[in-house]
Structure formats: C-alpha cells, structure tokens
Structure 1
C-alpha cells in the first residue's frame, strides 16, 4: 500500500473504481483529519460530527462506485463540498429549532492542541487560549457564511480557491466574505477598520 501514497487523488479514485479497496484506504487516510476537523468546527455536537463524517465518506463511496465523480484534479475541494452540503442539510432539517452554525464547545481540544504545539510558556498559552475563546465569541455573532470562511481560512488553513470550491461560490465571493468578516470583527473588537 505504501506505493499508493505517491499517487494523485484522481489516480487513487480510478484504482478504487476498478475494484482496488486499498486505494480508498489511502484516500481516507489522506483526508479523514481535514474532513473531520471541518465538520467538527461546523457543528457543536461531537456525535453529530461523527455521523456527518461517516455519511460524507459513505456518499463518496456511492458516488465513486456509480461512476458519477468526474476527475478534475480537485478531489479535496469536491470532498469538502460534500461534507459542507451534508452539514448544511443538517441545519436545514433543524432550522425550525433556531439552529445555526455554532462554534466548537469549550471542551473541544482543537484550540488547545494548536496552543500546546507552540513554543509558548504556560502563561503565554493561557493568554492565547483566552484570546481564542474571546475570538470564538465574536465569531458566533457573524453571519454563518462569514464564520465559515474565517474558520476555513484560519483554522483549516485553506486557500481562497479551496474555500470557494468547498462552498460552491466564486473566489471573489469568498474574498468578499472574508473582507466583511474582518471588518465586522474589527468593529466588534473596537479596532479601526
């Protein structure tokens, strides 16, 4: 299987559609963390995030087996778009209950892991965590589309092209959403825009 790791996504997809299950294992190992993290940042419930994660890869399997995926060299963006659509489907189903994209819970380890990986002192790490929590409070006030682009850009480290592909908008729209999100955050934080 180690030789499979050198293959492109589209080559792995081709092998999988020809019956090589090992190729799918490589795809899964290549993208499970980024898809899971994206979903986890989009929903506050860990069990729900796990369900959506599994549904995403089940949908990938069905789409690939039916030959409905068209290789374009943008498999990651397509995969994140599937995950995004399933998250949005969930929120559409529960919209009547006032649901919206939520920030991660206080017990979520993602910001802690990011700070723990740094070379900061313990005191600096506590300050950094407080700053992250404060930023999350500000983010929760933004419109959902602005929250999403900020999280994808800064937490997922995605390019604007990847954000545009994953959310199904133009790159200019993704850039505009980021611009307005930053303007709104600066206003809320009392900074000059």
Structure 2
C-alpha cells in the first residue's frame, strides 16, 4: 500500500505556471497597442523636428473629455469591487455609468475634431493636424472596442453571470478599460507637451 501511494505521488503531474488564455490574449493585444502608439509618437517627434509644423492650441473640450474618461475608470473600478462582493445592483449601476461615460467621451472627441476644423486644423494638410487626428482617432477606435467589451460585461451583469465566483469577464473588462484610460492620459500629455 505504501508503494502505491509513493508511486502516485511520483507520477502525479506537477503544477505548471498557467495563465488564462483569454487574459493572455488581452495582454498580447495591449502590448500590440503600446507598440503601435510608441511607433506613432516616435514618428511624430521625428517629423516635428523636420520643421513646417503648425502649432495650435488643443481645444478645451479635450480637457473635459479627459475628466470624463477618468470618471469612467473610477466607475469601472466600482463595478469590479461590486462584482467581488456580489453587490449586483451596484455592479449594474457602475458598469452602466462606465458605458455611458465612454459614449460621452467619444462624442466629446468628435466635438473636439469639429473645433479643430473651426481652427483650420485639418486631417489633410499640415502634418501636426494629421498626427493629432490619427492619435485621437486610433484611441477613439480602441474606445469603441472597449465599449463592445463593456457591453458584453454589462449584458452578463444583468444576467447575473458576473459574481465573486466568476470574475474573469469583469477583470478583462476593467483591465482593458483602465489601459485605455492610461493610454489617453499618455497621449493627452504628449500632445500638450510637444504640440
């Protein structure tokens, strides 16, 4: 009997370091986004140094949209904490607020583009305007993908599929949303500093 137990102990597979495949894909995606924006900001700096660069003030609405995005990140964290405590009502409210604030952020970005056009800063023309539109447009596209992830989590929350024993969805959603917030802060400070 002792030999059988010893054999079982020797033959049982050892635990391996494993990561949730969906979370792994998310992190690969985030690294890809970082590389995309790093290459774009590098190209911006190189092109700016060449001259023929239109300097313009960033419309104030971009400041306000930054505040909206920060608030949405706070609401997202509230949703995550609520899910961990099985506070379903707060979870639904918080994730709904996050979604609405994400939509408001996108609307404000579009309004910011209209202000740029009023200032004669266009997508085609001077490279400084082109870069500004590309940066904000690429980030806006990723916000749209974030809203899709939020919508999936929101639907799951209303079906009570997000709770303390099933946090994967909300963890992925929170990680991606906070990442988009940090990315915007980086772009915002970068554009303020080097415009």
TM-score when scaled to structure 2? 0.28
Higher relative contact order (CA 8 A, sep 6+): 2
Q: Rg larger in 1 or in 2?
A: 2
TM-score when scaled to structure 1? 0.28
Instruction: Answer 1 or 2: which has greater helix percent.
Output: 2
